[in-house]
């Protein structure tokens, strides 16, 4: 069986070496005498997986010692709902900078637990650009300011860390974490669902400055309390062990490949190649995002005639290129080119795009 180049936005492509290692460990994990999905999360074999995964993630992202790392089930959306319960007092304002669909989702999830306010939004322009920092209207006494580092659907990305003023900056890095070096110390917390750059769906990670965990927050069950989760080493309840193990394999693969500095170079080349193919098509393809705000991870694009969309997707699949259908919010096409997407895959896509244009232009 020949594997296709998978441009899906998430669940997304995983590195083939990771999949092969997981395949081997599925039946029997080390000397455990059982599959990695069967062993106890309290047993020595899995506790070593958990310890090594955190250590490797700290190395990969250069996480300072004064930041805690928590692994959670439920994905980034669950974290979005729990942020105000852990870090905001009842009625305290929380500021959201909206740059796309997932920023709006983050605010919606948090709204029941705080006074969620829009500090800035680019929605009036169709989320094709980032709001100017000078236009932000930050609230006095805000518990934190929330941004979405990269919008998976609309294809916009913060290329510089914005200034959040006096409040801690919290960012959803689900679709761009570990894609380039990041100064974690600029944030109160960052979080990410794993299913784009870190591993499979079903697990997320929260990297939070330890002093923020001292916030009283609001009444919540222990399972929703990040202080309790940290104290229990992310095992207050039975964690998604397979997903955690896969996340660990993916992080180890990234380290072996050269770490975030190497992936920054690769990702810049991949994005430049794809945007050049779009911009150089004479209008056959178009990307509507402001050039300075273009995402390196998710590239939405449109054909000049939407009637060609079905043919494009069908012929792309025949060429071994899958996962290119755009999100229903925007339509068109979208190529997600996360760390696991090799440069050869982007080259194959751009070659196909040129051939398709010759045949249908």
Instruction: Determine the Cα angle at 59 with ends 53 and 63, to 5°.
Output: 100
* pLDDT of 2: 83
* pLDDT of 113: 85
User: Is the fold of 16-256 the same as that of 258-360?
Assistant: no
Handedness of CA 213, 139, 80, 200 (dihedral sign): negative
* pLDDT of 60: 98
Which residues are tagged catalytic? 102, 172, 196
Handedness of CA 24, 27, 33, 34 (dihedral sign): positive
pLDDT along the chain (361 residues), means of 10: 91 96 91 90 94 98 98 95 96 97 97 94 98 96 98 97 95 98 98 97 97 96 96 95 97 98 98 98 98 98 98 98 96 98 98 98 88
* pLDDT of 1: 57
Closest by CA position to 298, among listed 206, 198, 204, 196? 196
Q: Which CATH number fits domain 258-360: 2.40.340.10, 2.60.130.10, 3.30.565.10, 3.90.1150.10?
A: 3.90.1150.10
- Half-sphere CA count of 74, side-chain side, radius 13 A: 17
Q: List the chain domain ranges.
A: 16-256, 258-360
pTM (two decimals): 0.96
CATH topology of domain 16-256: 3.40.640
């Amino acid at each position: 069986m020949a594997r296709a180049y998978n441009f899906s936005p998430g669940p997304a492509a995983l590195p083939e070496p990771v999949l092969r290692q997981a395949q081997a460990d599925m039946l029997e994990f080390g000397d455990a005498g059982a599959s990695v999905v069967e062993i106890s999360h309290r047993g020595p074999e899995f506790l070593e997986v958990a310890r090594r995964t955190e250590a490797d993630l700290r190395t990969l992202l250069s996480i300072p010692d004064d930041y805690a790392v928590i692994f959670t089930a439920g994905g980034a959306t669950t974290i979005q709902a729990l942020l105000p319960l852990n870090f905001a007092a009842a009625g305290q304002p929380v500021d959201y900078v909206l740059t796309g669909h997932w920023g709006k989702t983050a605010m919606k999830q948090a709204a029941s637990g705080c006074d969620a306010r829009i500090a800035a939004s680019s929605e009036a322009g169709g989320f094709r650009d980032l709001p100017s920092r000078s236009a932000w209207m930050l609230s006095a006494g805000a518990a934190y300011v929330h941004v979405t580092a990269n919008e998976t659907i609309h294809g916009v990305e913060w290329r510089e860390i914005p200034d959040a003023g006096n409040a801690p900056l919290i960012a959803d890095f689900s679709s761009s974490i570990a894609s380039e070096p990041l100064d974690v110390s600029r944030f109160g917390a960052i979080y990410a669902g794993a299913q784009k750059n870190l591993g499979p769906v079903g697990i997320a990670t929260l990297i939070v400055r330890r002093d923020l965990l001292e916030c009283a927050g609001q009444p919540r069950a222990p399972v929703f309390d990040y202080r309790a989760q940290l104290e229990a080493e992310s095992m207050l309840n039975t964690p998604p062990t397979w997903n955690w193990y896969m996340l660990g394999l993916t992080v180890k693969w990234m380290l072996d490949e050269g770490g975030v500095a190497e992936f920054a170079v690769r990702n810049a080349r991949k994005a430049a190649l794809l945007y050049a193919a779009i911009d150089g098509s004479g209008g056959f393809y178009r990307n509507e995002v402001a050039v300075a705000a273009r995402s390196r991870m998710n590239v939405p694009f449109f054909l000049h005639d939407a009637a060609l969309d079905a043919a494009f997707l069908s012929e792309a699949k025949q060429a071994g290129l899958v996962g290119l259908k755009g999100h229903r919010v925007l339509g068109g096409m979208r190529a997600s080119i996360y760390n696991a997407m090799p440069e050869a895959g982007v080259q194959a896509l751009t070659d196909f795009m040129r051939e398709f244009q010759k045949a249908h232009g």
